[in-house]
A = this chain, B = another copy of it.
Amino acid sequence: MSAAMLDPVLAHIDAHIDQTTEHLFSLLRIPSISTDPAYGQDCDKAADWLVEDLKSIGFDASKRATPGHPMVIAHAGSEGPHVLFYGHYDVQPVDPLDLWDRSPFEPTLEQGDLGPVIRARGASDDKGQLMTFIEACRAWKAVHGTLPGKISLFFEGEEESGSPSLVPFMRENAKELTADVAMICDTGLFGDDTPGIVSRLRGLLGEELTITGPSKDLHSGMYGGPAMNPARVLAKIIAALHDDQGRITVPGFYDGVPELPPEIAAQWEGLNFDQEGFLGQVDLSDLAGEQGRSALEMIWSRPTCEVNGIWSGYTGAGFKTVLPSQAHAKISFRLVGQQDPHVIRENFRAMVRALLPADCSAAFKSHGASAGSEMSIDNPAFDAARAALSDEWPNPAAFVGCGGSIPIAGHFKSILGMDAMLIGFARDNDAIHSPNEKYDLRSFHKGIRSWARILHRLYG
């Protein structure tokens, strides 16, 4: 791995960053909003743009039809580890349009807190991020005359609308899509100077609960007292889901929850996570949750149970003396390690039923059940990526967790049997899904350089 292979690539990237940015603008100008049928042709156009662009740097690229928006698949090379890179070319809707300072599909460079930012819908999520990888390939090709190794690309156009075609497409094309490792560029930096490689994702179990007491809404003056109030029953159930140490009381809940390996604990310790700032930015000062755990540990490695919604009775203006017939809650569990979502679902439902008083019944609706996943970071690509990122950024990269759930990573594991590495350069203030989305030019530029370094570590 000689610096002679890498340095001219980095120099090329630096020398061409203006052209590269202008090139990204032409993709950003295509309003590829996947949820709105009015933009169907634009999604198609974005897919075509990518196919042409990939062909121009030597990929065997093609658009593949699905019942929804098309996939873009590209392959090149035969040497070294086989890497599959994933991104999505569709973007979020733009309304409310009047909150945008300028048109969402007329990208511009503006001044941001860390230098220039690229302002447009999709700049960060995910066009700007996916182009960091393509631009690294382009620079490599320009300098060395060939792409670095066995690389496939896989772009979808339905990520912002629930990816209905994704799983069937992956199943049908499993052989073509399976590689040694997947790389996904759709996440953020851990800190402005600290890249992270997401190597553990929490699973998500969603339950909707309806408690029914009396068969219709009653007058609380008439039936208040004699009749059981399902809103009170629901409150009792929710209150019973945690003990006074913040632990979840569903029977067997912690079966399969591992303690953090000491080396990962040490890495996280080293990140000097600003717990006070993290809470302070939403005006909290106290760490809730399981006692004796740090915030990072809670978010990345501990399971949770949260109430995402409750409703019952009269919720409008003024007052109505109703004794409601039903009370509802949406409750979700984030899962880690070997926790089995199906077992937890059954145990949760049994616990709720056991807490019901006479005359109340419970009905349940499932809203997804996915287990947590942890990548096998002994795949050498993980260490290569970590070293490469540590070379590019002021602070070393860490294997971090992700509190949320990223379905694509789970699909790569469960359908194609491969681990996924999530590396991204977005910042928390990128306003993805919101008006005035942006991507820092620094993220874009150092992102391209990061991928060049990773390619060099893998193939150089």
Most chain B beta-carbon contacts within 10 A, residue among A206, A283, A285, A334: A283
CA distance A368 to B219 in the complex (A): 17
Taking a contact as CB atoms under 8 Å apart, the answer to whether A309 and B313 are in contact is yes
**A 214-231 to B, binary, CB cutoff 8 A, 1 in contact else 0:** 111011111111111101
Taking a contact as CB atoms under 8 Å apart, the answer to whether A228 and B308 are in contact is no
Taking a contact as CB atoms under 8 Å apart, the answer to whether B286 and A225 are in contact is no
Taking a contact as CB atoms under 8 Å apart, the answer to whether A324 and B312 are in contact is no
Q: Which residue of B lies closest to A231 (CB)?
A: B307
Please tell me if A318 contacts chain B, counting CB pairs below 8 Å.
yes
Please tell me if A80 contacts chain B, counting CB pairs below 8 Å.
no
Count of chain A residues with Cβ under 8 Å from any Cβ of B?
A: 80
**A 14-57 to B, binary, CB cutoff 8 A, 1 in contact else 0:** 00000000000000000000000000000000000000000000
Taking a contact as CB atoms under 8 Å apart, the answer to whether A226 and B330 are in contact is no
> A residues engaging B (CB < 8 A)?
202, 204, 206, 208, 213-216, 218-229, 231-232, 234-242, 275, 278-279, 282-290, 293, 295, 298-299, 302, 304, 306-315, 318-324, 327-328, 330, 332, 334, 357-359, 367-368, 402-405
Chain B residues closer than 8 Å to A224, beta-carbon distance: 299, 304, 306, 332, 334, 403
Chain B residues closer than 8 Å to A240, beta-carbon distance: 239
Copies in the complex: 2
Taking a contact as CB atoms under 8 Å apart, the answer to whether A226 and B315 are in contact is no
Minimum C-beta distance from A197 to chain B (A):
18
Contact of A310 (CB < 8 Å), options: B231, B279, B359: B231
CA distance A295 to B227 in the complex (A): 9
Taking a contact as CB atoms under 8 Å apart, the answer to whether B310 and A221 are in contact is no
Contact of A226 (CB < 8 Å), options: B222, B223, B232, B299: B299
Taking a contact as CB atoms under 8 Å apart, the answer to whether A307 and B239 are in contact is no
Taking a contact as CB atoms under 8 Å apart, the answer to whether B235 and A298 are in contact is no
Taking a contact as CB atoms under 8 Å apart, the answer to whether B402 and A288 are in contact is no
CA distance A405 to B220 in the complex (A): 10
Q: Which residue of B lies closest to A275 (CB)?
A: B226
Taking a contact as CB atoms under 8 Å apart, the answer to whether A220 and B306 are in contact is yes
Q: A220-B306, A298-B225 are in contact. Are A404 and B321 (CB under 8 A)?
A: yes
Taking a contact as CB atoms under 8 Å apart, the answer to whether A323 and B299 are in contact is no
CA distance A225 to B235 in the complex (A): 19
Taking a contact as CB atoms under 8 Å apart, the answer to whether A228 and B313 are in contact is no
Taking a contact as CB atoms under 8 Å apart, the answer to whether B227 and A279 are in contact is yes
A-B contact pairs, 29 of them (CB 8 A): A216-B282, A219-B404, A221-B405, A223-B299, A225-B288, A225-B289, A225-B290, A225-B295, A225-B304, A226-B278, A226-B298, A234-B235, A235-B235, A235-B239, A236-B239, A239-B239, A285-B358, A286-B358, A288-B357, A307-B313, A307-B324, A308-B323, A308-B324, A309-B324, A310-B311, A311-B312, A313-B330, A314-B330, A321-B405
Minimum C-beta distance from A246 to chain B (A):
8
Chain B residues closer than 8 Å to A287, beta-carbon distance: 226
